[in-house]
């Protein structure tokens, strides 16, 4: 056999070899110990008992807890939430029964190392089932796969404590801030979980606040923003506490951020304050159709801390900074069920008795189901005498915007055309008199 001096190996390899040697000695000791074999037998018995209970009673309990599909409410949702953890029943029951067996073996033999290892293995199986079967969110599944399961493997092997101690003993720092690697790892894990919880909580709060129809749209949007700021602010403070960072050490960083806001980030700060003003005053909110001085026009579909998102009728999204709503002229058509007035121009021939035209057109346009009678019904007015005919225009009120999916004016023009044709009123077209020199006559074209 070849022999080599382990002193020449790196410290990390030496540590692994020491653990391997300890594991070999422990395994040989268990193989030759009657107490270890009895504990192994208890492990098998605990697993069989857990399998029997999980197969016989758990389905019945699940049937009792699971509410009907049409059932709603908090209690029904809570019952459904509990039932999604039933795939863990086998591993958790085995863990419970093994714990009972461990107390028995320790009282009889004074030791229970084998059964304690088995209990940790069952807990690892429960964690594996949780990540594989129950967790559906992609982020949480990734976190469980690369954080929870490796930590559980170290726990089963009894290496979790030494690894934590090594990470806690290793410190890193940046200026006045110093923290251990354990704090960094804990902060990364806690930060990922808190960010996910914050995002989930924000979505839930937005859904709940959005259903409060007794509040004005601007008030609802402001409440959503306030809830979002509160949730992520609380998450940040909690994360700093978990990492063990004193918030007073962040004073220099806060001063640097203040200087940045005064120079490079002043536009962002201006847009944020403008967004708060818009939400407080309610001059423009989600659902309104607006047109800005720069020509941007569309329905506000979302208002963020920095900008408002306008959706045009051809499906494009326009990002407009909140500051533009404060510093420029904005036309708000208030497309949330409000009435707007539009005009439809037309002309009739000079041979027409124009005194009859207003009555004919107002009656025809008034029959259209989308034309309102309040605040005013259709109003046909004489506008002038053109080159080819007499110019009229009919004004009408409708709910909404005359664009996109609601094209009101074309239907009004069709009604005008049909009404004029029904009364034999001619719609003129341009006439020109052309003189051809040398021919001595005029051609009327």
pLDDT digits (tens, 9 = 90+) for 32-87: 555 666 677 777 787 888 888 888 887 777 777 777 777 766 777 777 777 777 78
Residues 243 and 351 in one domain: no
| Residues sharing a CB contact under 8 Å with residue 50, sequence separation 6 or more, in sequence order | 90, 91, 93, 94, 96, 97
Question: pLDDT: is 166 or 373 the higher one?
Answer: 373
Same domain as 141, residue 79: yes
- From residue 44, alpha-carbon distances to 93, 98, 323 in Å are 13, 9, 70
| Listed residues 298, 314, 332: the one ending a domain | 332
Cα dihedral 354, 355, 361, 363, rounded to 10, equals -160
- Percentage of the residues of the chain whose pLDDT score is greater than 90: 8
- Residues 296, 368, single domain; the answer is no
Domain for residue 169, yes or no? Answer: no
**Euclidean distance between CA atoms 150 and 112, whole angstroms:** 24
* CATH label of the domain that carries residue 344: 3.30.70.100
Q: End-to-end distance of the chain based on CA atoms, in angstroms? A: 118
Average pLDDT over residues 394-404: 80
* Same domain, residue pair 151 and 52: yes
- Predicted local confidence at residue 137, as pLDDT: 75
Q: Evaluate whether residue 378 is within a structural domain.
A: yes
Please report whether residue 172 resides in a domain. Answer: no
Distance CA 300, CA 255 (A): 36
What's the CATH code of the domain at 299? 2.30.30.60
In angstroms, the CA 400 to CA 289 distance is 9
The least confident of 47-51, 190-194, 248-252 is: 248-252
Cα–Cα distances in angstroms (integers) from residue 133 to residues 26, 170, 197, 200, 335, in the given order: 34, 36, 20, 20, 47
- What's this model's pTM, rounded to 2 decimal places? 0.46
Q: Mean pLDDT over residues 87-115, rounded?
A: 74
Task: Report yes or no on 348 lying in a domain.
Answer: yes
Q: How many domains does the chain have?
A: 4
Average pLDDT, the chain: 76
Tokens of 36: 């270890």
Enumerate residues 6+ apart whose C-beta is below 8 A from 232: 198, 202
Q: Which of 221, 234, 229 is nearest to 277 (CA)?
A: 221
Mean pLDDT lowest for which of 138-152, 274-288, 350-364?
274-288
Same domain, 57 and 154: yes
Number of residues written out for the chain = 445
Domain carrying residue 291: 266-332
Give per-residue pLDDT as tens, 320-374: 888 888 888 888 776 555 678 888 999 999 888 889 999 999 999 988 888 888 8
- Residue 2 confidence class, pLDDT cut points 50, 70, 90: very low
331 - beta bridge partners? 291
| Model pLDDT, residue 415 | 92
- Domain boundary (230, 262, 294) is at 262
Using alpha carbons only, give the angle 436, 441, 445 rounded to the nearest 5 degrees: 65
Tokens standing for residue 434: 């052309």
Q: What is the DSSP string of 272-334?
A: HHHHHHHHHH-SS-TT-EEEETTS-EEEEEEE-SSEEEEE-TTS-EEEEEHHHHHHS-EEE--
Q: What confidence category does residue 142 fall into, taking pLDDT thresholds of 50, 70 and 90? A: confident
Angle made by CA atoms 268, 271, 274, in degrees to the nearest 5: 150
Q: What is the mean pLDDT of residues 97-116?
A: 70
In a domain, 16, yes or no: no
Q: CA torsion 221→225→226→231, rounded to 10°?
A: 140
**Is residue 437 a part of any domain in this protein?**
no
Q: End of a domain among 309, 332, 355?
A: 332
Which pLDDT value is given to residue 418? 92
Residue 297 domain flag: yes
Residue 298 structure tokens: 């569309």
Predicted pLDDT of residue 1: 41
């Amino acid at each position: 056999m070849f022999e080599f001096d382990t002193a020449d190996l790196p410290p990390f390899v030496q540590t692994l070899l020491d653990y391997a040697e300890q594991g070999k000695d422990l395994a040989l000791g268990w193989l030759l110990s009657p107490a270890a074999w009895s504990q192994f037998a208890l492990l098998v018995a605990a697993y069989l008992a857990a399998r029997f209970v999980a197969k016989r009673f758990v389905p019945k309990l699940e049937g009792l807890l699971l509410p009907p599909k049409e059932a709603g409410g908090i209690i029904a949702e809570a019952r459904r939430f509990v039932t999604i953890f039933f795939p863990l029943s086998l591993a958790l029951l085995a863990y419970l029964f093994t714990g009972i067996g461990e107390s028995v073996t320790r009282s009889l033999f004074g030791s229970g190392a084998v059964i304690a290892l088995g209990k940790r293995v069952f807990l690892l199986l429960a964690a594996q089932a949780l990540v594989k079967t129950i967790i559906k969110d992609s982020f949480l599944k990734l976190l469980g796969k690369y954080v929870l399961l490796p930590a559980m493997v170290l726990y089963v092997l009894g290496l979790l404590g030494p690894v934590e101690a090594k990470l806690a003993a290793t410190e890193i720092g940046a200026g006045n801030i110093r923290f251990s690697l354990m704090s960094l790892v804990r902060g990364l894990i806690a930060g990922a979980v808190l960010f996910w919880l914050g995002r989930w909580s924000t979505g839930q709060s937005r859904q709940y606040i959005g259903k409060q129809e007794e509040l004005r749209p601007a008030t609802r949007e402001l409440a959503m923003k306030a809830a979002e700021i509160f949730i992520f602010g609380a998450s940040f403070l909690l994360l700093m506490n978990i990492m063990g960072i004193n918030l007073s050490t962040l004073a220099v960083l806060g001063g640097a951020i203040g200087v940045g806001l005064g120079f490079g980030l002043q536009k962002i700060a201006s847009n944020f304050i403008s967004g708060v003003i818009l939400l407080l005053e309610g001059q423009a909110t989600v659902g309104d159709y607006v047109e800005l001085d720069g020509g941007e026009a569309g329905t506000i579909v979302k208002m963020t801390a920095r900008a408002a998102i306008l959706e045009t009728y051809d499906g494009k999204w326009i990002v407009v900074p909140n500051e533009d709503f404060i510093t420029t002229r904005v036309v708000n058509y208030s497309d949330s069920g409000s009435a707007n007035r539009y005009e439809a121009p037309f002309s009739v021939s000079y041979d027409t008795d124009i005194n009859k035209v207003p009555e004919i057109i107002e009656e025809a346009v008034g029959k259209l189901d989308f034309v309102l009678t309040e605040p005013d019904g259709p109003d046909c007015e004489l506008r002038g005498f053109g080159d080819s005919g007499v110019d009229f225009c009919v004004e009408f009120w409708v709910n909404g915007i005359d664009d996109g999916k609601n094209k009101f004016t074309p239907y009004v023009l069709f009604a005008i055309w049909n009404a004029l044709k029904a009364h034999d009123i001619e719609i003129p077209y341009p006439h020109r008199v052309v003189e051809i020199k040398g021919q001595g006559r005029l051609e009327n074209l």
